[in-house]
Amino acid sequence: MEDTSRDFLVELLETPSPSGYETRGQRIWLDYVEQFADDVRTDAYGNAIAVHKGDPDAPEVVLTGHADEIGFIVKAIDDDGFVRPGRIGGSDPSVSQGQHVTIHAADGPVEGVIGQNAIHLREENGDEPEISDLWIDIGAEDEEAASERLEIGDPITFSSTVSWLSETRLAARGLDNRVGTWAAAEGFRTAVEAGTEATVYAVSTVQEEVGVKGAQMVGFDLEPDAVVVVDVGHAVDYPSAPSEKTSQMELGAGPALGRGSTNHPVLFEALRSVAEDREIDVQVEALGLGTGTDADGFFTAAGGIPSQVVSVPNRYMHTPVEVIDTDDLEEIATLLGAFASDAEEFAPFAVDI
C-alpha cells in the first residue's frame, strides 16, 4: 500500500465516528477525495458525496461505504459518579467489560474504563452481561464531579486504535466500516485517474449501524444507475469459528461478492467479470435474506436501484480487535475503480425477463 493511502486509512481509523457523531471522520474523508473530485458536498445529516462528472450519456455509478462505527452513549450518571452507557449500534457487552473507553465530551476527551468484577468475586459460569450491567469509571467522586466533565448524550468509543500484526494484517476497532469508505475513496481515485466516461460518485454515509439511514437519504437524492457498497463480512478462518453460520470467507483470499436477495445479478456478474479480467481472486458470500448493509437502504430508495455488496473479510466483527488483510482491501479498491471505468460495457443494469 502506498504511503499516502496507508496514512489516509490510519487517520480514518484513529478518528472516532460513532453513529450520529460522524462529522470529524467525514471531514477527513472529504479532504482526501476533494483532490480528485469535480465537486464535493454534504447533506443535512452529514452524508458526504464526491462526484466526477462524466459523459451525460454514460452510466452514473456510486461507490460507497459507511462512516459510522458502533459505540456507546452516556445514558445516565449515578450518584457515585459512574457513567451508565447505552448502545450505539450493535455494541457487544460480552467484550466490553475491562476495556478502556473515551467519552467525547464538549470540552475534550474523558478517559474511562468499563468496570468488571475481579475473577475472584465472580460466580462460575455466570450469565453474559447485558448493556444494563455495564458501568464506566472515570475516577469521579460523585455525580456532580462527573457532570462537570461530561453530559448526557456524549458519545463513547473504545480507546483502542490501530495495530499492524504483520505487513498486511491490520487490527483495529471500527474497521467496520472505515475500510469501506477508504475503498470507495480509493476506487473513485482510480476511476478518475483512468479517465472513466461514467459519472462516478464516491459516498461516505452516516448511521448505517442504526438502520442504514444515510443510504436511504443518499439513494433518494442521487438516483444512480448502480451502487456498489463496500462493507465487512465474516471471515471464519480462526479457531472455534462457527463456520456453519456463514459463508466460508477467509483473510487474504480476495474480495467477497454478495450473491442473493438485495444483490443485483447483473452487477454481481459484472464485478465477477471485471475481477477475472484484472486477475483479482474473489470469494462469494451467500446473502439470501438481505445484506445487513447500506445496500438494503439504497436498492429501494428511489424505486429500485441496482445494488451490490462487496465485502472485506473481517475477523471478530463488532469487537475492539477486528482484523483484516489489507491485500483484500487494496484489491477491492482496484475492483471498484475498474468497474467504474468499464461501467458502460454492462449498462443498462436490469434483469432480463
What digits encode the pLDDT tens for the residues 25-60? 999 999 999 999 999 999 999 999 999 999 999 999
94, HSE (Cβ side, Cα atoms, 13 Å): 7
Task: Please give the pLDDT value at position 215.
Answer: 97
**Region of residue 153 (phi > 0: left; psi between -120 and 50: alpha; otherwise: beta):** left
- Joined grid coordinates for residue 119: 475473577
pLDDT for 127 equals: 78
Per-residue pLDDT, 119: 87
Helix (H, G, I), strand (E, B) or coil at 236: coil
The partner residues of 64 in beta bridges, in order of sequence, read 203, 229
Report whether 219 contacts 301 (CB < 8 A): yes
Measure the CA–CA gap between 37 and 65, rounded to whole angstroms. Answer: 17
Whole-number pLDDT of residue 121: 86
* pTM confidence score: 0.96
Instruction: Give the SS3 label for residue 337.
Output: helix
Judge whether 237 is annotated as a binding position.
Answer: no
Q: Is 231 annotated as a binding residue?
A: yes
- For the domain spanning 3-69+173-346, the CATH number is 3.40.630.10
Question: Which of 60, 69, 208, 285 is the catalytic position?
Answer: 208
111 annotated ligand binder: no
Residue 66 is labelled as binding a ligand: yes
Check if the beta carbon of residue 74 is closer than 8 Å to that of residue 83: yes
Could you give the CA distance from residue 228 to residue 234 in angstroms, rounded to a whole number? Answer: 18
> 15 CB contacts (<8 Å, ≥6 apart)?
24, 25, 28
Q: Which CATH number fits domain 72-158: 2.40.30.40, 3.20.20.210, 3.40.50.720, 1.10.287.810?
A: 2.40.30.40
Q: Is 345 a catalytic residue?
A: no
Beta bridge partners of 177: none
Residue-level pLDDT at 124: 75
Q: What percent of the chain has pLDDT over 70?
A: 100
The reply to whether 176 sits in an annotated binding site is: yes
Q: With a cut of 50, list the residues of the chain below it in pLDDT.
A: none
Domains of the chain by residue range: 3-69+173-346, 72-158
